[in-house]
Each structure stands twice: as structure tokens, then as C-alpha cells.
Copies of this chain bind each other. A is one copy, B any other.
Amino acid sequence: MELYLVIAVFVGSLLALGFALIMAKRVLSFDEGTEKMKKISASIRSGANAYLKRQYTIVAIFFAVLFVILGVMSIVGLLTPFVPFAFITGGFFSGLSGFIGMKIATAANARTANACRTGLNKGLRVAFSAGSVMGFTVVGLGLLDISIWFTLLKFVFNRDAAEITSAMLTFGMGASSMALFARVGGGIFTKAADVGADLVGKVEAGIPEDDPRNPAVIADNVGDNVGDVAGMGADLYESYVGSVISCSALGVAAFNEQGMGFQAMAIPMIMAALGILCSIIGTFFVRTGEKTEQKLLLKALSRGTNLAAILIAIAAFPLIWFILGKENWMLYFAVLAGLIAGVLIGKATEYFTSDTYKPTKNLASKSETGSATIIIGGLGLGMLSTAIPIIIVGIAVLVAFFVSGGTLQAPQMGLYGIALAAVGMLSTLGITLATDAYGPVADNAGGIAEMSGLEPEVRERTDALDSLGNTTAATGKGFAIGSAALTALALIASYIDKIKSMPAAGEISYDSFSVMNPLVLIGLFIGACLPFVFAALTMDAVGRAAQSVVIEVRRQFKTIKGLMEGKADPDYAKCVDMCSRSSLKEMILPTIIAVVVPVIVGLVLGFYGVVGMLAGATASGFLMAIFMSNSGGAWDNAKKYIEAGHHGGKGSDQHKAAVVGDTVGDPFKDTSGPSINILIKLLSMVSIVFAALVVQFHLLG
């Protein structure tokens, strides 16, 4: 049984990685275009490489320090000796996912632009293939990591299911730490460059977007790759692996007594492997004609993702029926609940942020009375938009819990069901991520087309692809946020399982954490506060980093002679360096807070406080992530809606007001919002790893 399991997972992993390789070869088989395009693409590539190298150096220090801390804890017996190594590998694979994604994206940008010279369909194929490389690398590496560790722990060290999942949860912590660095650092980089380029270039100097005379224009394109691509890759690696291992851990807890621990543990892993197969099939159905209409393009992508979702919905049924036995077949509905919830949250996100619906149209009309009203409107829209996802997740959780046989007295089965819902949501990540990651490639292609002076219809085609990317990004965000909430809940349950297993903690059950326990309550307050503080820190960081870019761009405009006349080149590298430097400096504090606070809360308020903190952070983090993503998305699209000729169009006062909204929305949707998803899981992972320490030493409780 165990051997079949590991083989199945391993095969799934190889399938994904092999498919990614084929796609990568396909991308590279296209031509990069003119000399100028090659040159620009090379600058972007070298900037992104240089940034990631520096980022990894800093992250390596962090990992080294934590490796030593975890090593010491292992030696004194607070952790098993696997933990420090699992931690490192999680970080390594998460970083690698981002790195490969970035590599292929920077190779594909000029190729996409060049392919768009031939036609829209060809452009879509290049960009989507690049997105597929990233999507399948993430899931492939995820399952590879899982199967390697499983093989080691099971067949080499002969550990039982509980110990295996426990060790595997630690590589989740490594993956989450890396992901947070990547998201925060990359998010700050991309928005600092974007805001800096716009504020001086567009507003002060009056030159168009992506104009090669703007010294920050390459930095802006580098930012898309290190933030939206490398950051997203690391982020979703973390989500994917986190959902699978937390589900496995809960499966063991729920089914061990019936002697089916391994079976329950296997379900999420095999479902992930099946999801890869379904995703690959889906990719073959993504193609389009030559019309730039959004509807047709969207249909082309949706055909693939919908097919994959339907296939996994069918495949999950026999999987559960045969592995867990027909008496547990109702767990299938937990998977289904997750899948449907993911789709619905995506739809809700689209409704609130796409300019084809009322909310964003309304928001655009608020530009008529200036920037203050569009800001108020966007904030209100984002806050209001939290209600529907909350209800969707609430229903999904209740359905998953009760159909799985969970009861208020014995919730184990139900908690496993909740975790299965998260896995269901993410099982087709291969293809959903492909449709998401292709966006920044198209965005970059547009920039290259502009900078190298290609024909206007090329830009039109890349714009069509880019604009579609905004919609698929909304859907992707729905899955990311929804799965983050469910996985975070599963991780809280895993934390309690961990505590329960420690004799020093006393008699603990899932029922021990009443909100009326003042330690739980204060933990809840502190936890709920963390996403606010985290959002504040990351937003401020973007502000400060952008400020430094603004100063540098102004300096170049002033001191480089002939720059505005196009006779001299700006010093692109200096701006890239500026963004790197400040984003790397700024990414450290937020991440350290995320790692240190759970330990401090544990040492002061004990594990009661930790559980409260995790629940509070999950609830408020979910809300803040949706609020910030949707406000930001709506402002962005309201601006685009105005640029399309409504409310005065480009250059009008209304447009200026909308640009203010969009600028506020930038760090909202691309830095703070997505980072919070990682934050809430990292808090749980850290708590799990330091659980033994906290049970031994705590001030209260």
C-alpha cells in the first residue's frame, strides 16, 4: 500500500515536471525577435537574476540562523532531528519554484511579443506555455518534495504515519518562510518600481508608460518578474504543499484508530497527483482564434480550467470510495465543496473587480467628484466584498465538516473534511496557476513591444492578453485566498493535535479553547491585529522604496544630458539596484515579525493564547486579504475603464483621480493582500514547530 502510494505521487510529480520541461522547450523554440527586443529582454533577465541572487543570499542567512535554532532544539529533544532538514528543503523547493518560473517568464516575454507580430493565437500559446512551465513546476516540485520525504521517513527511517506528517509539516514552515520573503520582497520591488516610474515619468515628465527614456522602466519590468512571477511561484508552492500535508496530518489523526491512517494520509497526495493529470489534459484545450475580444479569449482559457476541474471532480469519487472504503464515501462531498467554493469565490472576486459589472463601473463614476470620492468608494467596495466570500467559506466549512462525519463532540473527521476541501480547491493548481502566471508574461511582452517600437497591432494584441490576465488573476486570487483560509484552519487543528500528543500539556482536546478563556481571547485580539500591522508595514515599505526610486529617476532626468531627446540612454541598472536594495531591506522586518510573534505569544500566553492568535489571524487575515485585493483590483480596472473612453477618458481630471486610486491600490493588491495569505499559514507552521518549547515554557495558562 505505502509503496503504491509513494509511486503514484512520484509519478504525478515526474509527469508535472516532464510536462513543464516540454513546455519550456516549446517556449524556447520561438524566436526572440529583433536585436532591440533581445537587448531589452536581456536587461530584464539580468536584472531579475541579480535581484534573486541577492534575495537568496539574505534568505540564506535567515535559514541558516533558523537551522541552528531548530538544530539546538532538536539536540535538547524539543524536536525530532528531521525538522531542521525538512525546514531547509521546504525553503529550497519554494525558492526553486519561484526561480524557475522567473527564468521561463524572462525568456518568454520577448518571444511572446515577437509571436504577437504573427498573430494573437501564437502569442497566447507562447505566454500560456510559459505560464504552464511555472504552474507544473510548482506542483511537480511540491509532490517531489513530499514523495522524497515520505520515502525517507517511511522506508529509510521506518517512522509511523503520525511522525511522518509531523516532520512534513516543518517543511511547510520552510516553504512559507521562503514564500513570505519572496512575496513581500518581490511585492515591494515591483510596486516601488511601478509607482516610482509612474510618479516621475507619467506625472512629472509627461512621457508615456513603458517609454524607454524612463530610467525606471526596466526596473518596472524586472519587478513584474520577481514579484508577480517569482513571488507568486514561491507563494503557491507553499499553498499547495501546505494544503496537502496539513490534510495528510489530519487524516492520520482522524483515521489512525481505525487503522486507516496511511490511507487517509494518502488521499490528498494521490488527489494532487490526479489533479496534475487532469490539469495536463486541460491545457490541450486552451487555444483561441485571432479576435482580440475578451470574451473569446476568456473562453479559451476557461475551457481548459473548467475541464480540469470537472475531471478531478469525477476522479475524486472513485479515489475516496476505493481507498477509504464505501462507508466514508461522503468525504467526497468535502472535496466537491472545496472545488465549488473556489470557483464561487473567484466569481465573486470577478464580480467586484471586473469593469463588466456594476461595482467597478460605479466606482469609475465616482471619479467625477475627484480622488477623495473614488478612494472612499474603493475602500467601501473592498470592505463590502468580504461578505460573500465569508459566507461561501462558511458554508463550505460546514458542509465539509458535517458530511465527513464530524460532530461537535468528535470533530476529527470533520476537520479532515475541511482540509480535504482545501486540497480539492487546489488540486488543479497546475492549470489555474498557468492561466494566472501567463499574465505578467503578457504584461512584459507589451512593455517590450512598446520599448522596441513594434507595430501598434502588436501592442494591441499584447494588451488583449494582458487585460485577460487581470481577470484570470482575480480567479486565481479567489483560489489562493479561499484555500489559505481552509488550510489555516487545518493547520490550527494540526497544532492542537500536536499539543494533545504532549503529556506536559495536560488533558487537552479540541474543546479546550473556549473564546471565554481570557488567554484564548487575548490571543484572538492579538492575532486579529497581526494582519493589520503586517499590511501597514508592507504598505509603508512600498511607500519608502518608491520614494527612493522617485529621487533616483529625478536625478537621472536632471543629470543625464540628451536623455529626454532620446540621444542618451538612462542608467537602467541603477534603478534596478535601487529597487533591489530597498525591497530587500524592507522585506526583513515583516517576515521576522511573522516568525517571532507566535513564539512570544506562546511563551507569554501559552498554547491557549497561540490557538486564539491563530484563529484571530485567520479570520482577520482572510478579511484583510479580500478587502485589499478587491479594492486594489477594482481601482485598477476602474482606471482602465476610464482609459477605454468613459467619464472623460485618458488625460481627463476623472482619469487623474482614477490614477490616484490605482496607485493606492498597487500595494494593496500586489504586496500586502497576497502576503497576508502566506502570513496566516506561516503563523500556524511556526507555532507547530515551536509547540514543544511553548508547552515546556510559558508564563500564563
Contact = CB atoms under 8 A, between A and B. Distances in A.
Interface of A: 195, 199, 203, 366, 369-373, 375-377, 379-384, 386-387, 390-391, 393-394, 397-398, 401-402, 406, 408, 411, 414-415, 418, 489, 492-493, 496, 510-522, 524-526, 528-529, 532-533, 535-537, 539-540, 542-543, 546-547, 550, 608, 611-612, 615-616, 619-620, 622-623, 627, 659-660, 663-664, 667, 700-701
A386 B533 contact: yes
Interface of A is mostly: helix
6 contacts: A372-B660, A376-B663, A394-B526, A415-B516, A510-B516, A515-B515
A118 to B, nearest CB: 39
B537 A411 contact: no
As for how many copies of this chain the complex holds, the number is 2
B414 A518 contact: yes
A492 B518 CA distance: 12
Nearest to A519: B408
A366 B516 contact: no
B376 A664 contact: yes
Given A375-B660, A386-B532, A528-B620, 19 more contacts: A195-B372, A369-B546, A369-B547, A372-B663, A376-B542, A377-B543, A384-B540, A397-B522, A398-B518, A401-B518, A408-B518, A489-B521, A511-B517, A513-B516, A515-B515, A528-B619, A616-B619, A620-B620, A620-B623
B528 A528 contact: yes
Given A372-B664, A376-B539, A623 B529 contact: yes
Given A387-B529, A623-B528, A408 B517 contact: yes
B514 A369 contact: no
B536 A380 contact: yes
Nearest to A394: B522
The 3 closest A-B pairs by CB, nearest first: A372-B663, A384-B536, A383-B536
Nearest to A540: B380
B525 A515 contact: no
Contacts of A381: 536
A539 B380 contact: yes
Contacts of A540: 376-377, 380, 384
A390 to B, nearest CB: 4
Contact of A660 (B366, B371, B384, B700): B371
Given A380-B536, A408-B701, A398 B512 contact: no
Given A390-B529, A540-B377, A543-B373, A517 B411 contact: yes
B525 A383 contact: no
Contact of A376 (B394, B543, B608, B620): B543
Contact of A384 (B510, B519, B522, B533): B533
Contacts of A510: 514, 516-517
Of A366, A418, A520, A525, chain B has the most CB atoms within 10 Å of the CB of A525
A521 B513 CA distance: 11
Contacts of A492: 515-516
A371 B371 contact: yes
Contacts of A518: 397-398, 401-402, 406, 408, 411, 414, 418
Nearest to A512: B514
A671 B640 CA distance: 31
Contacts of A515: 492, 513-515, 520, 524, 611-612, 615
Which of the listed residues A376, A493, A612, A622 has the most CB atoms from chain B within 10 Å of its own CB?
Answer: A376
Contact of A522 (B203, B398, B546): B398
A683 to B, nearest CB: 14
